[in-house]
Amino acid sequence: MNWLGSLGPALILELLALGITAGFLAGLLGIGGGMLMVPFLTFIVSARGVEPALAVKMAVATSMATILFTSLSSLRAHHRHGAVRWDLVRGLAPGIVLGGLAGGGGIFALIKGQGLAVLFAAFVGFSAVQMLLDRKPSPSRQMPGWAGQAAAGGGIGLMSGLVGAGGAFVSVPFMVWCNVPLRNAVGTSAALGFPIAMASTLGYLIAGWSLPPSVPGAFGYLYLPALVIITLASVMLAPLGARTAHRIDVKSLRKLFALLLLALAATMLYRVFG
């Protein structure tokens, strides 16, 4: 851990602020922190001399690795309230693991950083538009059978592994679209966060095993200072966000957050290509 001595006060404060904000919003809005962490981590790593294309990959991988820890805290809370559909977890998880491994260990290493930035921006844009539209599903639509759930899980895992998100931005709309109640969709998505993060992080470790350290504290595509500090801060703040969600109008806040995501995605593209 020689990299501990290289952390300046400014970097520690930046990572703490990002972890606190991501954790609070995760509890408040029921989202993973990846959508917020990836753009800001890209800026933070780029400012320390990492070329932008590699900075995007490090931000995606590090963001996903934090979900290994934060998803467990969220899962416990939702399970206590009986919100997790374990039958859907069993149906979606096998595809999610395979998709996460393929995304994190195969395609992630092959795709260029600029292409990854475009993919992330498109993913965030789609997610933000879904939040703004708040569409209602057809009353007769149901979750597909085992094969359909495995295929859907593969798509969720693959996309999550490529953009560094816990999958909630895909799995929750998909389950709600299939008339799973929102409370159960959010709780089930929390349970799926761990296998997504586990498979994708394993893939990043395999893909980046031979990379030389780009900055102190880098291990392949993972940036360990950010992983440690953001995880500690976000785990502590997520419960506060969840309690706050019961006291304010979250619908309006979700729309504002969707606009913030669009602005962040546009800024990230500008930084990478500009």
User: Looking at per-residue confidence, does 208 or 151 come out higher?
Assistant: 151
The residue-averaged pLDDT of 204-225 equals: 81
Q: How far, in Å, CA of 146 to CA of 5, rounded?
A: 51
- Please state, rounded to an integer, the average pLDDT across all residues of the chain: 77
Least Cα distance to 160 among 89, 103, 122, 111 occurs for 103
What is the residue-wise DSSP string for 64-77?
Answer: HHHHHHHHHHHHHH
Tokens of 252: 């309006």
Under a CB-based contact definition with an 8 Å cutoff, are residues 61 and 201 in contact? yes
- 5 pLDDT more than 60: no
pLDDT of residue 86: 92
Specify which residues 9 forms β-bridges with: none
* SS3 (DSSP) at 170: helix
Q: How far, in Å, CA of 247 to CA of 225, rounded?
A: 34
E-strand stretches of the chain: 218-219, 222-223
pLDDT in tens, 67-99: 888 777 777 777 777 878 899 989 998 888 888
pLDDT in tens, 165-182: 666 767 777 787 788 887
pLDDT in tens, 11-49: 889 899 988 888 777 766 656 566 678 888 888 888 888
Q: How far, in Å, CA of 197 to CA of 203, rounded?
A: 10
Tokens of 189: 């998505």
Under a CB-based contact definition with an 8 Å cutoff, are residues 186 and 172 in contact? yes
| Reported confidence tier of residue 122, pLDDT bands at 50, 70, 90 | confident
